[in-house]
Chain A
Amino acid sequence: MRMIALIIIVLSGGLLLYATQDFPQWADPASPASLHLSPHYIQKSMEETSVPNLVTAVLADYRGFDTMFETTVIFCAGVACFMLLRISRQTPEDRYYRHISTGVTIHIKDGGKIPDKSKEFERIDTMWTPFDLVIKTVCRFLIPFIQLFALYVIAHGHHSPGGGFQGGVILGASIILLAISHNLRTATKRMNEKLIGLLCVTGVFIYAGTGALCLLIGLNFLDYSALASVLFLDPVSARSFGILIVEIGVGIAVMATMIWIYNNVSSAGKYDEGL
Chain B
Amino acid sequence: MLRFLAGKVTRGVVTLLIAVSAAFFLARGTGDPVREMLGDLAGPEQVAQLSAQLGLDRPLPVQYAAFVGDLATGDLGTSIRYGTPNLDLILGWLPASLQLAAAAMVLAVLVGIPLGVWAALREGRFADRFASTVALTGQSIPLFWLGLMLILLFAVTLGWLPAGQSTGFSSLILPAVTLSTLPMAQIARLTRSSMSEVLGEAFLDATRARGVARWRVVLVHALRNAALPVITIIGLQTGTLLSGAITVEFVFAWPGLGTLATQAVQMRDFSLIQAIVIFGAVVFVLVNLIVDLLYGILDPRIRDGVA
Q: Do A and B make up one complex? A: no
Seen from chain B, the residues whose Cβ lies within 8 Å of a Cβ on chain A are none
